Amino acid sequence: MLRSTLLKLSGNNGFAHWVTSNSVTRRMSHRFVAGETLDEVIRTACELNKAGMAVTLDCLGENVATATDAQKVRDTYLEIYDRIAREELNANVSCKLTQLGLDISAEFCEGLVLSIAERAASYDSFLRIDMEGSIYTQRTVELVKRVRAQTPAVGTVIQSYLYRSESDVNDLLSYGCRVRLYKEPSELAFPRKADVDANYVKLMKILLASGFYHGIATHDPRMIAETIRAAAGKRISKDDFEFQMLYGVRTDLQRRLVQDGYRVRIYVPYGLEWFPYFMRRLAERPANLTFFLRNLFRS
Ligand SMILES: Cc1cc2nc3c(=O)[nH]c(=O)nc-3n(C[C@H](O)[C@H](O)[C@H](O)COP(=O)(O)OP(=O)(O)OC[C@H]3O[C@@H](n4cnc5c(N)ncnc54)[C@H](O)[C@@H]3O)c2cc1C
């Protein structure tokens, strides 16, 4: 109920304007979003690197309306790679296909993705294509496979809640594709959290056994413990996979995994379009809403 109200509010322009122009809510957004500019996110990336964590940078935004806007997004990502290289950061990039014109034309979008992946490859880096709503799953998997056939510097994301995910994982592995695995609450597919978790563990084991380097993306201590157990059982080295978590979520767990010698990569979003992302993070936990309201009334 609370979650759906917050998610509905994330589509409300008046509320968006109020949140993004209010100094208190802008400050609060910094818990989950590194800032609005490239300079700010680079500073955050430096700090996380110093704390022993790799990062993946995402310039927030989705569903662009014109080819010109998609090309501007492509230019932004090219600039991010140049900057990462110049600052010698342990960082790569995550982006969404609808930000790169997938709604306009898959062929056009593929051209932009390829140019970004080639820039990533030129720096020996990597481009992660995020998975969006389930209406985009098929097109995303197809496009990523086509780009992967041209460069190894691209991979994508699989969500454990979809029935089709096991077959997508096997399909992507046959292309040598690196996968980020995460779970997401949804009424769309596996209806029970226990089934989503069970599928997460099943897919995680397939990925670990594949011999490619994957991202196990979760803040759930049970999923993390299952991963550590599965890797140890199969004698898979700590350097052969990484845990991934969101900026500002379970920082205690992030630090503990680094201390225990695991590779950890933090997903760090930034940009002017931070409002829907911020609302999604708030909606995920009732405690986040308490944090939001407490700070608002304190101001
Ligand atoms: C690397 C990465 C990339 C992601 N990319 C996207 C994306 O592009 N778009 C998108 O919408 N979602 C994204 N997600 C979020 C994902 O969709 C889930 O919502 C999120 O990961 C919750 O699942 P969980 O594995 O943390 O398990 P859960 O069982 O949901 O959570 C486990 C524990 O984590 C903590 N936790 C989880 N979420 C929060 C939160 N928001 N605030 C505070 N504590 C929290 C709580 O302690 C909770 O008990 C991403 C997640 C990761 C880790």
Confidence of residue 289 (pLDDT cuts 50, 70, 90): confident
Q: Residues 17, 273: contact at Cβ < 8 Å?
A: no
Residue of 96, 130, 249 to mutate, ligand 1, most atoms within 8 A of C-beta: 249
**What pLDDT does residue 186 have?**
62
Q: List the residue whose alpha carbon is closest to atom 45 of ligand 1.
A: 249
**What pLDDT does residue 4 have?**
77
**What pLDDT does residue 191 have?**
73
Return the minimum-mean-pLDDT range out of 160-164, 224-228, 293-297.
293-297
Q: How far is the CA of 246 from the centre of ligand 1 (A)?
A: 7
Residue 180 falls in the annotated catalytic set: yes
Mean pLDDT for 196-200 is 94
Mean pLDDT for 216-232 is 97
Helix axes 193-209, 221-233, angle to 10 degrees: 30
Which tops the pLDDT comparison, 128 or 282?
128
Q: How far is the CA of 67 from the centre of ligand 1 (A)?
A: 31
Mean pLDDT for 23-33 is 92
**What pLDDT does residue 291 have?**
78
**What pLDDT does residue 132 have?**
93
Among the options 180, 263, 265, 281, which is catalytic?
180
Residue of 220, 241, 242 to mutate, ligand 1, most atoms within 8 A of C-beta: 220
Closest to 64 in 3D by CA, of 127, 108, 118: 108
Residue corresponding to tokens 């997401």 = 184
- 5-22 pLDDT per residue, tens: 777 777 888 888 888 888
- Residue 187 pLDDT > 70, yes or no? no
Q: How far is the CA of 187 from the centre of ligand 1 (A)?
A: 16
**What pLDDT does residue 10 have?**
79
Neighbours of 229 (CB within 10 A): 11
- Residue 188 pLDDT > 60, yes or no? no
In terms of average pLDDT, the best of 1-5, 90-94, 159-163, 284-288 is 90-94
Q: List the residue whose alpha carbon is closest to atom 18 of ligand 1.
A: 184
Mean pLDDT for 207-223 is 97
Confidence of residue 1 (pLDDT cuts 50, 70, 90): low
Q: How far is the CA of 274 from the centre of ligand 1 (A)?
A: 16
Q: How far is the CA of 218 from the centre of ligand 1 (A)?
A: 6
Mean pLDDT for 263-284 is 94
Q: Residues 210, 174: contact at Cβ < 8 Å?
A: no
**What pLDDT does residue 7 have?**
76
Kind plus residue range of the DSSP H or E element containing 283 = helix 275-284
Confidence of residue 52 (pLDDT cuts 50, 70, 90): very high
Q: List the residue whose alpha carbon is closest to atom 47 of ligand 1.
A: 250
Q: d(Cα 269, Cα 41) in Å, to the nearest integer?
A: 8
Strand partners, 155: 128
Among the options 58, 74, 130, 263, which is catalytic?
130
- 55-78 pLDDT per residue, tens: 999 999 989 999 999 999 999 999
- Rounded mean pLDDT of the chain? 93
Confidence of residue 295 (pLDDT cuts 50, 70, 90): confident
Mean pLDDT for 156-184 is 94
Residue 43 falls in the annotated catalytic set: no
- Residue 145 pLDDT > 90, yes or no? yes
pTM of the model: 0.95
